[in-house]
């Protein structure tokens, strides 16, 4: 491979990395808007979060297309191959986070038409934790920092614990006052979507770790969600 070809490949790889960082920033902003829309009861923020999903979907397709062309044309080896494959995987995870943020925002719009409920504070706290996790893993990707990625991977039980507590609170709320069942169902879906976004951030952490170290984190991911028997099903597309 000539020096010119190597340079051209490196530039394309850097552009791919920059595109992932840009997509990550968009997903982070969309998720932040969705969570803030609940905390502030702000319907305009929620609508912005819903509208932001289209751009994230477009970026995912573009990144995947560019990465596949790099694989086909350049046949990269070792670390360059891991970087290219990581871009495809991370873009997919970010696209899923965008879907979850859109679903959260759509339910926030519905919640904002109803009287306030105190449990939205717990939802906001859970959302902030998930958002912090997403930011940290995107930083780990940008810095090529395997230790930082592993730290995010280990944080997953924290979101699960908040989810477990909120799940129990919502069930109690519904049993005490059946009139709140409709409202609490929306809150349960939002909580599950936030919890799932944490899982996707953890998936990104695994990809970053493998990209940097050429090794895998333990198969036994730390998991503390105890609601699996009765949990609300995961909702992807609305």
**Cα angle vertex 30, ends 26, 35, to 5°?**
150
- Residue 149, pLDDT > 90, answer yes
pTM of the model: 0.88
Residues 89-136 pLDDT 10s: 999 999 999 999 999 999 999 988 888 877 777 888 899 999 999 999
Domain ranges of the chain: 3-213
Q: Which CATH superfamily groups domain 3-213?
A: Phosphate transport system protein phou homolog 2; domain 2 (1.20.58.220)
| 196 contacts 153 by C-beta, under 8 angstroms | no
- pLDDT-based confidence at residue 226 (cuts at 50, 70, 90): low
| 4 — pLDDT class (breaks 50, 70, 90) | low
Residue 231 pLDDT exceeds 60: no
226 or 108: which leads in pLDDT: 108
Query: What DSSP state is assigned to residue 114?
Result: S
Confidence of residue 75 (pLDDT cuts 50, 70, 90): confident
Helix-strand-coil split of the chain, %, nearest 5 = 80, 0, 20
Q: Cβ(142)–Cβ(79) under 8 Å?
A: no
158-193 pLDDT, tens digit per residue, is 899 999 999 999 999 899 989 889 889 999 999 999
Can you tell me the distance from the alpha carbon of 235 to that of 238, in angstroms, rounded to the nearest whole number? 8
The CA distance from 44 to 119, in Å, is 21
Asked whether the CA dihedral 104, 110, 116, 119 is positive or negative, the reply is negative
> Cα(112)–Cα(106) distance, rounded to whole angstroms?
10
């Amino acid at each position: 491979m000539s020096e010119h070809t190597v340079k051209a490949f490196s530039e394309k790889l850097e552009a791919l990395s920059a595109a992932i960082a840009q997509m990550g920033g968009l997903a982070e902003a969309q998720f932040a808007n969705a969570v803030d829309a609940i905390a502030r009861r702000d319907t305009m923020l929620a609508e912005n979060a819903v509208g932001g999903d289209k751009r994230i979907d477009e970026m995912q397709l573009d990144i995947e297309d560019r990465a596949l062309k790099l694989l086909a044309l350049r046949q990269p080896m070792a670390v360059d191959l891991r970087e290219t494959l990581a871009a495809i995987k991370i873009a997919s995870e970010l696209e899923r986070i965008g879907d979850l943020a859109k679903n959260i925002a759509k339910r926030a719009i519905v919640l904002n038409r109803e009287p306030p409920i105190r449990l939205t504070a717990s939802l906001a706290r859970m959302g902030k934790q998930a958002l912090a996790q997403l930011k940290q893993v995107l930083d780990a990707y940008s810095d090529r920092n395997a230790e930082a990625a592993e730290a995010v991977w280990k944080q997953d039980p924290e979101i699960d614990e908040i989810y477990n507590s909120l799940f129990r609170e919502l069930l109690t709320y519904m049993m005490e006052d059946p009139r709140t069942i409709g409202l609490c169902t929306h809150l349960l879906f939002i909580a599950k979507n936030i919890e799932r976004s944490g899982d996707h951030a953890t998936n990104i952490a695994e990809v970053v770790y493998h990209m940097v170290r050429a090794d895998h984190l333990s198969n036994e991911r730390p998991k503390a969600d105890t609601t699996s028997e009765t949990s609300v099903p995961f909702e992807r597309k609305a």
